[in-house]
Structure 1
Amino acid sequence: MDTRLLMISHASTAAQRAGRFPADDPLDASGLAEAHAKRTCLALAEGTAAYVSPAVCARDTATALGLAASVALGLADMNYGKWHGRRLADLAAEAPQELAAWTRDPGAAPHGGESFSELVKRTAAWLDALNGATDLGSARTRDVIAVTHASVMRAAIVYALGASPVVFSRIEIAPLSMIELRHASRGWTWWPASH
């Protein structure tokens, strides 16, 4: 059975606008308004399964989009370890070598959290488990939507393309961006989002 997965990055948060690593921040009024506006553009097939990251901002986004989504731990944001809630500018001044190592080496995790490589493996495991699920819809193609984080969407693209995690930081995903992945006999592929 084929799977069509639409992934949406959560709406913007005050932490993002302040250049901080996330710390399970909720959406503020601006982010909620952005997500509500996106709702009118989202046309889903009947029976589409919906999943969401456990993070508050992702759950707020899913609700604003009108989705009754199940929490999926595999969609959780990257674990930023001791950098949670810290401003990127402050880290650049305080720990420039660690920050540089993290951005250049996909296996590095100087913050004590996940490396890019680890996130790609975790995301790949979720994608492969999703494709192996049997209760997601019709016998032809299963439609799935997932509200998650830019980092998870980058990891999904890297996995779908069979690319090296080195390219992880070269993929830009804005708030409320959408990507489409499809799984068929040749594996996962990345498509232009059709919504």
Structure 2
Amino acid sequence: MSPTSLYLVAHAHTAALRRAVFGGGDDDLDPGGLRAARALVPADPGRRGPFGRVDTCLSSPAAAGRQTAYALGLRPVDEPALADCDYGRWTGLSVAEVGAREPDALRDWLGTPDAAPHGGESVGMLLDRVDRWLTGQRDRGGRIVAVTHPVVVRAALVGALRLPADTFWRLDVAPLAVVRLLGRGPDWQLRLPAPTPSAPTL
């Protein structure tokens, strides 16, 4: 079996993501985000994109993930493990709003991986969820594209590279960023540079 080549793609912008709203990936892509995703597809239909032949496309069940995948010319299948972090009662609020209402709780959540003051998932729980999913993909073989949320891409990098949990907030993943991981035996390798997506061939 060929090694697993896993492309993690952060979904494009939504209006809520631009405002740093917790759970902003549940919204539709905004016009700018949709244009940016579509602009990555080459005008020449015969040109092969950087993903090459895609065996499987998985997506967060959220609208932003699915819409980004379709805009890139992919046919996604929902994967619950790629869902956004559960932000509990903070869902729909901006970071600024939570900081004004619950500054101590926000500091606790940002500074302690196991803290979940909002009643949803802690960063540690998110890391565990994504790591379990990664383990299941490593021996799958073939080329997989997974379109998900920037925080899930962060979590995947922490798990794949076996980084300490407190490095999570030091990884900055922009919308439409692409990370390529190669499954090699019991480990993942980070392949750089990861090309910008443009018209994957299915």
TM-score (norm 1): 0.91
Q: Is the 8 A contact 1:53 1:74 kept in 2?
A: yes
* Bigger Cα displacement from structure 2, 4-13 vs 181-190: 181-190
Partner of 2:22: 21
Deviation at 1:174, TM superposition (A): 0.4
Structure 1 position 83 matched with structure 2 position 90 = yes
Counterparts of 1:34 and 1:181 in 2: how far apart (Å)? 24
Deviation at 1:108, TM superposition (A): 0.6
Structure 1 position 126 matched with structure 2 position 126 = no
In the superposition, relative to structure 1, how do residues 124 and 75 fare at CA in structure 2: closer, same or farther (>3 Å)?
Answer: same
Counterparts of 1:57 and 1:47 in 2: how far apart (Å)? 20
Partner of 1:137: none
Deviation at 1:70, TM superposition (A): 1.0
Counterparts of 1:9 and 1:91 in 2: how far apart (Å)? 24
Structure 1 position 169 matched with structure 2 position 176 = no
Q: Is the 8 A contact 1:178 1:193 kept in 2?
A: no
TM-score (norm 2): 0.88
Structure 1 position 51 matched with structure 2 position 58 = yes
Counterparts of 1:189 and 1:38 in 2: how far apart (Å)? 25
Q: Is the 8 A contact 2:86 2:121 kept in 1?
A: yes
Supply the RMSD in Å over aligned alpha carbons. Answer: 1.5
Moved over 4 A (4+): none
**Match for 1:49: what amino acid?**
T
Decide which of 122, 126, 130 is 1:115's aligned counterpart.
122
Structure 1 position 6 matched with structure 2 position 13 = no
Q: Is the 8 A contact 1:6 1:193 kept in 2?
A: no
Write the deviation string for residues 16-66 of structure 1: whole angstroms up to 9, x where unpaired: 112211251111211110110123394322243111110001111011111
Partner of 1:94: 101
In the superposition, relative to structure 1, how do residues 47 and 148 fare at CA in structure 2: closer, same or farther (>3 Å)?
Answer: closer
Counterparts of 1:165 and 1:42 in 2: how far apart (Å)? 34
Partner of 1:188: 188
Give the match's secondary structure for 2:138: helix
Deviation at 1:193, TM superposition (A): 4.0
Partner of 1:146: 146
Q: How many residues align?
A: 188
Partner of 1:138: none
Deviation at 1:189, TM superposition (A): 2.0
Q: Is the 8 A contact 2:11 2:65 kept in 1?
A: yes
Percent sequence identity over aligned pairs: 38
Deviation at 1:132, TM superposition (A): 3.8
In structure 2, list runs of 5 or more residues that go unmatched.
43-47, 196-202
Write the deviation string for residues 81-131 of structure 1: whole angstroms up to 9, x where unpaired: 111110111111110000000000011111111111111111011111122
**Match for 1:15: what amino acid?**
A
